[in-house]
Structure 1
């Protein structure tokens, strides 16, 4: 059984808003992600990830949620409706844990995607294309 490595994020606190394991309808969250394993051509199921927001005038990351990708490689409910506010966010993906569960070494132990939200009325989708030796991300729709 694989146990995740200690959280690699510097200066992180765990927020009281963590709600791991609660299911949400795909269309109900203003922020979603989708991880595809480009080495196998399949969704990256069971990949652990954390969502954090930069607080304290840019000095401290606060963890909002820990979650795992579903069988389709999606994590549809990262934030509850109304929970999004303008600011800087970070998605941290435990890529090393994902590849170790598959018996594969990888170059990147984790991937951090940092992005800024200026209009909290919009929906945001942050896909990740992943292989053991590379990754790509972009703002999706």
Structure 2
């Protein structure tokens, strides 16, 4: 898949894809304000069913993905103190080439997370 923004979430605490994680995509404007673009929920493979941006919607700029992992772990019945340590994980990144594939995976556990530019 080219010219698209995709993501997936892996739950390191159980070694499986994270099904049912709510994700929001926001564009960060030059003024620093946020513009909502898209909301998605991960499927059984921990991926979103459609790219978050694709084709003419892929524009250079700064973006933020918000992963609501606190809600995910609550739905899983995971025992956590409130407020949870990681509730919403924001990942800010830049798209510099609108004709490239950008993949932003998130590896999660109740106590930490990691991300990278995937392929």
Normalising by structure 1, report the TM-score. 0.77
Residues of 2 paired with 1:121 and 1:33: CA distance?
Answer: 17
- How far off is 1:29 after superposition? 6.2
The aligned residue for residue 33 of structure 2 is 60
Aligned position for 1:139:
117
Aligned to 2:101: 123
CA RMSD of aligned residues (A): 1.3
Asked if 2 retains the 8 angstrom alpha-carbon contact of 1:28 and 1:77, the reply is no
Q: Cα distance, 1:59 vs. partner?
A: 2.2
Structure with the larger RCO, 1 or 2 (CA within 8 Å, 6+ apart): 2
* 1:72-91 matched pairs, under 5 angstroms: 72-75=45-48, 76-91=50-65
Question: The residue matched to 2:72 in structure 1 has which SS?
Answer: helix
**TM-score, with structure 2 as normaliser:** 0.90
Equivalent-residue separation in structure 2 for 1:132 and 1:35 (angstroms): 13
Structure 2: give runs of 5+ residues left out of the alignment: none
Give the 3 Å change call, closer, same or farther, for CA 28–121 of structure 1 in structure 2: closer
Mapped pair 1:98 → 2:76: no
Indicate if the aligned counterparts of 2:10 and 2:108 stay in contact, CA closer than 8 A.
yes
C-alpha deviation, 1:41, in angstroms: 0.6
Name the structure with the higher strand share: 2
1:73 Cα deviation after fit: 0.1
Q: Offset of 1:28 from its aligned partner?
A: 6.7
Across the two proteins, how many residue pairs are aligned to each other?
A: 114
For 1:3, the equivalent position in structure 2 comes to none
SS at match of 1:74: coil
Runs of 4+ deviating beyond 6 Å:
none
